[in-house]
A = this chain, B = another copy of it.
Amino acid sequence: MSRWEPGTADRLRLAALELFVERGYDATTVDDIVARVGVTQRTFFRHFADKEEVLFDEDAVMQDILLDGAQAYLHQHDPGPGRGLAAARAATAALARSFENERERNRARWNVLAHIPALHGRQLVKQDRWCAALQHTLVDNGVPPAEAPVAVAVAASALALAYSQWVTADRPRRLLPLLTAADAQFDSIL
C-alpha cells in the first residue's frame, strides 16, 4: 500500500466538477475541492495551473484528433480547388466522431461553462489555438496560405454551430449528422 491514494488528479477533477454542478463555479472554493479529496491546496495547484484548468487540462488529446483527421485527408488527395476546405471538414468530422458517445459529459460541461464568462473565454481561446494549428497543418501540406484561414474558419464555425445544437437539444441526437447539415448550410449561403 502506497503512502497516498493514486489518481489524485482524477479525483480532483471529479470532485471539482461535482461541486461546480452542485453549488456553481464561483461558490466553490479550491479549499472545498481539496477538502472533499483530502489533500491540501498546494497539491491542487501542482496538478492544475489554476482553478479553471481543472476543467480543461484533458483537452490536449482533441487537437491531435483534429490534426490527424486533416492529415489523413491531405495524404489521400492531391492538390486542387476545394482541398483546403475538404481537409478542414474532415478534421472537424473526426473530432465530432470522437465526441459522439460523450453527450452527457459534454452537456454537464456546457452548463458550467455557459454561465461563467471567464470559462467560456478559455474554451474559445482553446478553439482558437486548434484553428491556428489546423491552419498550419493545411499550409504545411500544400494548401495555399490564402485559402487555409478561410477554410478553417468555415469548418470551425460549422462545428461550433453543430456542437451547440447538439448539447442544447432536449432529446439525444447524433453530432455527425448535425455537422454535415451545418456544413451544407455554409455551402448553400454563397
Copies of this chain in its oligomeric complex:
2
| A110 part of interface (Cβ distance < 8 Å) | no
Stretch at the interface among A19-27, A91-99, A101-109, A116-124: A116-124
A-B contact pairs, 6 of them (CB 8 A): A118-B118, A149-B161, A150-B161, A153-B154, A153-B158, A187-B190
A18 close to B (CB within 8 Å): no
Bound complex: CA A121 to CA B50 (Å): 15
| A119-158 contact mask (Cβ, 8 Å, vs B): 1 or 0 | 0111011001000000000000000001101110110011
CB pair B118 A186 closer than 8 Å? no
| Cα of A157 to Cα of B85 in the assembled complex, Å | 15
Q: Which of B124, B153, B157, B189 contacts A124 (CB 8 A)?
A: B124
